[in-house]
Amino acid sequence: MGLRRPEQFSHHFAKLREITLHYVREGAGPALVLVHGWPGFWWEWHRTIGPLAAHFEVIALDMRGYGDSEKPDPSRIELYQTDRVVGDIAELLDHLKIERALFAGHDYGAIVLHKLVREHRARVERAVIINPVVPGFDERYMSAAHFAESWYAKFHQLDMAVELVSSSRAACRAYYGHFLSHWSSDKRLFSDEEIEIYTDNYMKPGNVLGGFNFYRAGQRKTWNNLDYTISDCPVTFLQGLDDPCIPSAWTDLVTRWYTNYTIEYLPRCGHFAMREQPELVVDRIRRAGRA
């Protein structure tokens, strides 16, 4: 499959109450909303958007603070809480006149979908979640035993973090390239061109800080009371067996919060299933859409 660069997609903007969201829209059929993670932006789904657009109306958005979406006041960390992203998505559906949709999310997108299926259950047909992050995850992730993988979450809290990472293109490329390679099963998976596209994104004004502010907001508050309730939403969870960021054993937490779910463990797959095994991800999303 050839590489589709960002400029080869159709770009749109939605002016919402608080911010303006950027999204890519392609295809026709039932609505499918793709929610990215960190380190990422809408383009992390680039290998799946085209194949999925043959079956769905695909909407791949940039969360607030990311990509080409608006960056709220960076000094107001509360504006970067994932609860706000949930509200943005509900507003985006209203803007697009979509009543219900299938959703797929990854990494931070997994947190957003955990919240969305509780706060806006009527808007969600089903969900496909890559790398489940649910209540109880935080304690394990930030534990001393996992520090070799979670150190960056603390680094993002530092005032100098943005200055260091954005000090030069080389520094930016090295930082984000590290996670793209280290969190993948195949450490050479991402091509130089792909890493350059990620670097292009994070060299845009505000994008490094926008992503880091999600960690700063999460340090204060990740979960609300509704997040600690059990959901009956049909969810397909996908977890790479070679993911050093989110160990597959941690999927035991899913059973506390969902009653209608499946978990599939992917061999030879790390953190980025939509890039590492795009055909499988497309197939599982299609199956969810047919259920």
Question: Residue 179 phi/psi, 5° resolution?
Answer: -70, -40
**Full-model pTM:** 0.97
The total of structural domains in the chain comes to 1
Structural domain contains residue 164: yes
Residue range of the domain that includes 193: 6-290
Structural domain contains residue 41: yes
Note the pLDDT tens digit of each residue in 75-128.
999 999 999 999 999 999 999 999 999 999 999 999 999 999 999 999 999 999
Structural domain contains residue 240: yes
3-state secondary structure at position 145: helix
pLDDT confidence bin for 219, thresholds 50/70/90? confident
Structural domain contains residue 1: no
Structural domain contains residue 215: yes
Cβ atoms of residues 262 and 146 within 8 Å: no
Name, in order, each residue with C-beta under 8 angstroms of 211's C-beta and a sequence gap of 6 or more: 38, 39, 65, 66, 156, 202
Mean pLDDT of 47-75: 97
Residue 209 sits in a domain whose CATH number is 3.40.50.1820
Give the model's pLDDT for residue 1: 57
3, 37, 39, 36: which is closest to 182 by C-alpha?
A: 39
Name, in order, each residue with C-beta under 8 angstroms of 92's C-beta and a sequence gap of 6 or more: 14, 16, 21, 23, 33, 59, 61
How many whole angstroms separate alpha carbon 1 and alpha carbon 97? Answer: 33
pLDDT confidence bin for 291, thresholds 50/70/90? confident
Mean pLDDT of 32-40: 97
Question: Residue 178 phi/psi, 5° resolution?
Answer: -60, -45
Structural domain contains residue 76: yes
Mean pLDDT of 260-267: 98
Cβ atoms of residues 137 and 115 within 8 Å: no
Cβ atoms of residues 62 and 22 within 8 Å: yes
